[in-house]
Amino acid sequence: MPDVFYMWPGGRSTAIHTAKLAKDLKPLLEKDGLLNKYSAAAMDTKGQAAGYIAEIPFGITTTHVLYVNTDILKECGLSIPKTYDELKAQVSVLKAKGYETVLMANMDDWVMQSCLFSMVIGRFGGSDWAERIMAGKEDFNAEFVQKSVQFIKTLYDDGVLASSTLATSYGDVVGLFASGKGAYMIDGDWRAGAFMTDQSTGQALISPAKQKSSIELVTFPSIPGEVLSGSNSSTLGVGYGMSASIPEGSAKEEAAWRLIKWLSGVEMQQRRLDTGASFPSLVEGIVFDDSKMEPISIKRAQFYQAAGAVTPVFDSVFPADVQVACNVGLQQLGLGKKTAQQICDDMQKAWKASK
């Protein structure tokens, strides 16, 4: 392992956590009096697969946001839907005007799982759905999992998600939304930064004026049969860890720790806030200045304040093979190549094998 490395709290970095390849940073945080400088949520060891502070999260990440172009809705005589039936009813109206309903980058296999399915399975399974599966109380053939996968199929069947999203790349989707090709876009909270002014060019995909007048950030409307209304999928954000092989008290540990402190400190977290990359995990030293923040960044803060119950993100909980079964399965579902039951079977087989 490198001395210092970028890592996730679980999911893609599960192997690092389970093999204890990252050092526990809590003693170093305590030694320098920094533990209480970060939010309690960011320092919650339950959020990291290692069971200790293997990385200092940049913040808390909400993986699902429904970005809304209110200009398109107004043009079509529509408003932000409160229920799925209301959203479904908008499809024909938007299509008649030449608009897609929901834009997504489903050519990249992780997007559906992280930015939509994780929210959906939380709505049907409750906040402890992943915990129940991991404890062996339920499995991926449980009714709530099947309902969740089937709902994704329903989105395609109803035209809320067009099959063209399966050919839309992650690099292209923001341009499609910014140019008004669809009324909505589903992505993570971090994607707000893609629309802000680029500090190197002075250009923005969506101008600050239009961000203020025409863009809203909301959660997906209520879904028929859900058990946890208004919930959303969230996880600890990424951060930097230190190799467990570095000797305690050594000069190398001191150098690595100095770098991690800076990468996780006020200067870098303020920059991430100002550029829309992430909201800070630090509770001291960060300046929230509305006069310096672009409207979409302010609306992102308001989105967090209005957030409902928190549910797990699939790829922050389950290992890589289970993620692959889910990611690829959801693409095959959209292509009509697999049924919801087959995908649940594939996830269960991968989960059983991983254990």
> Residue 115's domain spans which residues?
62-233+312-318
Q: Does pLDDT of 6 surpass 90?
A: yes
pLDDT band at 284 (very low <50, low <70, confident <90, very high): confident
Instruction: Tell me what percent of the residues of the chain surpass a pLDDT of 70.
Output: 100
Specify the number of domains making up the chain. Answer: 2
Confidence class for position 175, pLDDT limits 50, 70, 90: very high
Q: What is the pLDDT of residue 60?
A: 86
Query: Strands 182-187 and 100-103: what pairing?
Result: parallel
* 49 C-beta neighbours (distance < 10 Å), count: 20
**Residues 119, 178: one domain?**
yes
Residue-averaged pLDDT of the chain:
95
CA atoms of 234 and 314, how far apart (whole Å): 10
Q: Are residues 90 and 12 in the same domain?
A: no
Calculate mean pLDDT across residues 114-133: 97
pLDDT tens digits, one per residue of 49-86: 899 999 999 988 999 999 999 999 999 999 999 999 99
Quote the pLDDT of residue 319: 87
**26 found inside a domain:** yes
Asked if 94 and 138 sit in the same domain, the reply is: yes
Which DSSP category does 22 fall into? B
Band of residue 276 on the pLDDT scale cut at 50, 70, 90: confident
pLDDT band at 279 (very low <50, low <70, confident <90, very high): confident
The C-alpha atoms of residue 158 and residue 336 are separated, in whole angstroms, by: 14
Name the strands in the sheet holding 56-57, side by side, starting at the edge strand that comes first in the sequence. Answer: 4-7, 239-242, 56-57
pLDDT at 275 over 90: no
**Residue 19 placed within a domain:** yes
Same domain, 54 and 73: no
Examine the domain organization and report whether 84 and 149 are in the same domain. yes
How many helices (H) and strands (E) the chain has is answered by 16, 10
Handedness of CA 139, 129, 11, 333 (dihedral sign): positive
Exposure string for 67-76, b = 16+ CB within 10 A, e = fewer: bbbeebbeeb
User: What number of other Cβ atoms are within 10 A of residue 96's Cβ?
Assistant: 9
Closest CA to 122 of 40, 81, 67, 62: 62
Question: In angstroms, what is the C-alpha Rg of the chain?
Answer: 21
Q: Choose the weakest-confidence range: 94-98, 147-151, 255-259, 272-276.
A: 272-276
Which stretch of 23-27, 221-225, 286-290 has the lowest confidence by average pLDDT?
A: 286-290
133 and 182 assigned to the same domain: yes
What integer is the mean pLDDT of 275-295? Answer: 85
Q: Look at phi and psi of residue 48 and say left if phi exceeds 0, alpha if psi is from -120 to 50, else beta.
A: beta
How many Å apart are CA 220 and CA 120, to the nearest integer?
9
In the predicted model, is pLDDT for residue 10 greater than 90? no
- Give the residue with greater pLDDT, 296 vs 284: 296
- 324 contacts 18 by C-beta, under 8 angstroms: no
Four-CA torsion 327, 328, 333, 336, nearest 10 degrees: 160
Model confidence band, residue 300 (pLDDT cutoffs 50, 70, 90): very high
CA proximity to 66, closest of 203, 226, 204, 223:
223
Average pLDDT over residues 99-108: 98
Whether 353 is in a domain gets the answer: no
Q: Are residues 47 and 168 in the same domain?
A: no
Residues 341, 145: Cα–Cα separation, whole Å: 9
Is the pTM higher than 0.85? The answer reads yes
Is a pLDDT exceeding 90 seen at residue 258?
yes
Considering the domain boundaries, does residue 347 fall inside one? no
Question: Length of the chain, please?
Answer: 355
Same domain, 212 and 281: no
What average pLDDT does this structure show over 198-227? 95
Residue 78 phi/psi, 5° resolution? -115, 170
- Assess if residue 249 is contained within a domain: yes
Concatenating the DSSP letter of every residue in 251-285 gives: HHHHHHHHHHHHHTSHHHHHHHHHHTS---SBSSS
pLDDT at 277: 78
- The pLDDT assigned to 341 comes to 97
pLDDT value, residue 149: 98
Q: Is residue 131 assigned to a domain?
A: yes
Q: Please name the residue that has the structure tokens 């004026």.
A: 209
Residues 84 and 184 in one domain: yes
**Per-residue pLDDT, 199:** 81
Average of pLDDT values for 34-54? 91
Please report whether residue 307 resides in a domain.
no
pLDDT of residue 170: 97
Say how many Å lie between the first and final Cα of the chain, rounded: 24
